[in-house]
Amino acid sequence: MNEDKPKEENKKQEVKEEKKVEEEKKVEKTTTPPQDKKEDSKDTNQKSIPEVDDNKEKSEKDNKKTKENKDKKEKKKKQEIVKKDKAVVNGNDLRVSTKQCVAICNFIRKKKIEDAAKDLQAVIEKKIAVPMKGEIPHRKGKIMSGRYPEKACKIFIKLLKSLQANSIMNGMENVFISVCKANIASRPHRRFGQSRFKRTHVYLESRERKSGKREEKKPEEEKDNKKSEKKEGEKK
């Protein structure tokens, strides 16, 4: 019996040692995955770094493009405007009476564009009348007869605005309406061909007003010129 006891104790010790070894292996298994996770996290961080670099490159490219666009716009602005002598506007096939357009042209001619637009606005408000010939009732003011062509005045105001813009683009200053004329356009037939629609072509031209004053002749020079003219006439 005494011999069997040490054998049993040895077996128990072996079993304990085996359990310890198994427990150590389990502990090692449980501790190793976090290390793998850390390594994975490091790899992910390393992978994310080039993405940030790509974003920086994209932002730099966008900034370069915006700078190039700004430089192009500034160059276009710096380009010298080619100065011209006149600015022109054409209104083709306008649905307005030719008689009214002719009267408005005579009313506007030789005026500044801004003043002409103000006068036409006053005509629309029926404060000023456009002088017209014919059997037309008399109006208040210094004119004999006139009317208030509202539709034609609205169209002329649009044309004057475009004329002002064209003159600015041509580098013109101190502008006035030098030419203003209206002509009959091709008039299409109405229904059944009994009458025709009203159509008109309008041509507007603006030029720069010369600021220089005319040289006034002295009275002595005028007398000498008159005497020389009389002598020449007597000789003939």
Tens-place pLDDT, residues 41-95: 445 444 444 444 556 676 777 777 787 777 777 766 555 556 788 999 999 999 9
d(CA 35, CA 23): 19
Fold of 86-208: Ribosomal Protein L22; Chain A (3.90.470)
- Give the residues of the chain that fall short of pLDDT 50: 1-2, 33-39, 41-42, 44-52, 213-218
pLDDT at residue 9, as a whole number: 72
pLDDT at residue 22, as a whole number: 79
Question: Is 155 in contact with 162 (CB distance < 8 Å)?
Answer: no
pLDDT at residue 102, as a whole number: 95
